[in-house]
């Protein structure tokens, strides 16, 4: 009975691993790109123009343009200048620049940001559950009394401790 469970776990682990190899490669690349999300790494400057309501406060302009912590640098007549561009209070026209990832890379980063309202949500759930299965099934790869299994437990515990330490810092 035990060898049957071991064999089945090995088979499931192997074929699920082959299937998930592609998904893991994409997640790995997108995860590395996300690490640099607060920098300009790989970002391209995009010139934008948007018609807003006239006579808005700078805070309202920031919300409409989705620019966080927007602050006016100077105001000359009807023109309010800010770091990313200008807003004309009389006409409501905003001219500003944004920095965005190229479309393909931006879509990759959405893998990690998917919410329950997006189809990627199902892939994320499947991937998370599959990784959890990998964690559990990996303990059926070696017999519990072997040295490799015991060393594997030490490495597992070390991985958990390192993650907890980094989360606390």
Q: Is the pTM of this model over 0.75?
A: no
| Residue corresponding to tokens 């998904």 | 23
Range of the domain at 157: 2-39+103-168
pLDDT digits (tens, 9 = 90+) for 42-99: 999 999 999 999 999 999 999 999 999 999 999 999 999 999 999 999 999 999 999 9
Distance of alpha carbon 97 from alpha carbon 153, whole angstroms: 51
pLDDT band of residue 1 (cuts 50, 70, 90) is low
Boundary residue ending a domain (85, 100, 115): 100
Sign of CA dihedral 9, 11, 12, 17: positive
Average pLDDT over residues 121-125: 91
Domains of the chain: total: 2
Average pLDDT over residues 132-141: 88
C-alpha distances out from residue 102 to 5, 24, 44, 57, 106, Å: 47, 21, 7, 31, 6
Q: Within this chain, do residues 107 and 62 fall inside the same structural domain, yes or no?
A: no
């Amino acid at each position: 009975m035990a060898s049957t469970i071991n064999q089945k776990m090995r088979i499931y682990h192997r074929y699920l691993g082959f299937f998930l190899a592609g998904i893991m490669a994409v997640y790995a690349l997108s995860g590395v790109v996300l690490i640099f999300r607060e920098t300009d790494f790989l970002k391209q400057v995009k010139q934008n123009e948007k018609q807003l309501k006239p006579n808005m406060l700078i805070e309202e302009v920031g919300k409409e343009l989705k620019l966080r912590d927007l602050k006016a640098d100077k105001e000359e007549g009807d023109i309010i200048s800010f770091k990313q561009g200008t807003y004309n209070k009389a006409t409501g026209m905003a001219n500003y620049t944004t920095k965005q990832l190229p479309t393909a890379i931006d879509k990759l980063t959405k893998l990690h940001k998917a919410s329950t309202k997006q189809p990627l949500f199902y892939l994320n759930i499947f991937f998370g559950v599959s990784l959890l299965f990998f964690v559990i099934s990996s303990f059926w790869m070696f017999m519990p009394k072997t040295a490799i299994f015991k060393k594997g437990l030490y490495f597992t515990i070390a991985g958990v401790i390192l993650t907890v330490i980094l989360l606390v810092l």
